[in-house]
């Protein structure tokens, strides 16, 4: 639960700034040669993308409470419990 609001944190905005910086470098080039990022920028971009992926995974996935409640009423959770053994 502590990581749920990480998508709106100052660190997330700094990561977004890093990604925007690289995208600006890409768009300002004419495309005739590959983009040569210095090592520090490459590391910052890689770290920013890894943190963004971790924040996305921390959000979880949506579910329908109605479907979950119906599964609980149908005792499907007991089947899952027995599968663990």
Q: What is the pLDDT of residue 66?
A: 92
Sign of the dihedral through C-alpha 77, 80, 82, 85: negative
Q: Which domain holds residue 51?
A: 4-83
Q: What three-state secondary structure class fits 2?
A: coil
Which of 21, 81, 6, 15 has the alpha carbon at shortest distance from 50?
Answer: 15
DSSP H helical segments within the chain, as ranges? 10-28, 39-58, 65-73, 76-83
Residue 3 near residue 55, CB atoms below 8 Å: yes
Q: What is the pLDDT of residue 16?
A: 84
Q: What is the pLDDT of residue 36?
A: 72
Q: What is the pLDDT of residue 6?
A: 58
Overall number of domains in the chain: 1
Q: Which residues of the chain have pLDDT under 70?
A: 1-8, 30-35, 80-85
């Amino acid at each position: 639960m502590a990581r749920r609001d990480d998508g709106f944190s100052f660190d997330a905005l700094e990561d977004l700034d890093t990604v925007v910086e690289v995208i600006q470098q890409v768009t300002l080039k004419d495309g005739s040669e590959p983009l040569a990022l210095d090592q520090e920028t490459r590391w910052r971009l890689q770290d920013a993308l890894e943190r963004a992926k971790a924040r996305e995974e921390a959000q979880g996935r949506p579910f329908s409470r109605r479907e979950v409640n119906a599964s609980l009423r149908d005792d499907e959770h007991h089947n899952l419990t027995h599968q663990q053994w």
